[in-house]
Amino acid sequence: MSSRLSARSLRLVVRTFSELCITVGALIVLFVAYVLLWTGVKAADAAEGEIETLHSRWAQEPAALSPGPSSAPSPAPYRDGKPFATLHIPRFGADWEWPVLENTEARTLQKGLGHYSGTARPGETGNFAVAGHRRTYGDPFKDFPRLRPGDAVIVNDGTTWFTYRIAKEPYRTVPTDTAVVDPVPRRSGFEGPGRYLTLTTCEPEWGSSHRLIAWAHLDATRPVSEGKPPDLTG
C-alpha cells in the first residue's frame, strides 16, 4: 500500500514539475517574441512619428531653409527627448533613416537615436555623438560591425545635409570609457580639433557589457534646397 502511494506521489511531483517547465518555457517564448517583434513594431511606429514631426516642423519654417546673416543669434538649445535631425547610413540600406532626439535616456532610445547632450551639433567644430540600440526597439544599429572606412553617415537638420565619412572600423571598449565622445575622441586617430561624429552601440549583439564605437569626420555639406547628397541618390 505504502509503495503504491509513494509511486503515485512521485508521478504527481513529476507531472507538476513538467507542467511548471512547460509554463515557464511558454512565458520565455512569449517574452522573446515581445522583445524581438513587439518592441520593433513600437519603435518603428515611434520613429516614423518623430520623422513626420520633423518634416512638419521644417515645412512650417521656410525661413530656416536659407542661411541667415553671420550675425544671426545662436540657435535655440535642443529640447530633451525631442527630435532635431534625421540620420542616414547608406551601408545599412537605401531606406535606412532614423530620427535623432536629444539625450540618451532609455525612453528616448525607444523612439530613435539619441544625441549625447553637451556634445556638438551637426557640422560644428567638436564631436557630434549619437547612441542607438544594437538590438530591440527596431534594431537601428544591428549592422554596426559592417561599417568600414569611407562609409557615409549623413545628417539632415532641416537646413543642411552633413556628410561624414567613417575613419576606421568599429572600436570595442567598455561603457565607462566616456572619452570616446570627447571633442577630440580618444583612440579615434584624430589629432586635433575638427568636425567629428561618433556613433555608439552595445556589444555583444545581445548584451551590453561593452560598446562598439565608430568615428567619422565631416566631408561635405549641402543645403537642403539643392536636393539630397550624392551618397543618397547614387
- The single residue of 88, 134, 135, 211 carrying the catalytic annotation is 211
Query: Under a CB-based contact definition with an 8 Å cutoff, are residues 154 and 217 in contact?
Result: no
Whole-number pLDDT of residue 29: 42
CA 77, 83, 86, 87 dihedral sign is: positive
208: amino acid identity, one letter: S
List 133, 134, 135, 195, catalytic entry = 133
pLDDT 10s digit of each residue in the chain, 234 long? Answer: 556 656 666 566 556 655 564 554 444 444 444 555 567 778 789 999 999 999 999 998 764 444 444 445 678 899 999 999 999 999 999 999 999 999 999 999 999 999 999 999 999 999 999 999 999 999 999 999 999 999 999 999 999 999 999 999 999 999 999 999 999 999 999 999 999 999 999 999 999 999 999 999 999 999 999 999 999 997
The CA–CA distances, whole Å, from 61 to 79, 132, 159, 175 equal 17, 28, 10, 39
Torsion of CA 120, 123, 126, 131, to 10 degrees: 50
pLDDT of residue 196: 98
pLDDT at 42: 83
- Asked whether 203 and 172 are in contact (CB, 8 A), the reply is yes
Domains and CATH numbers, the chain: 40-66+78-233 (2.40.260.10)
Whether residue 210 lies in the annotated active site = no
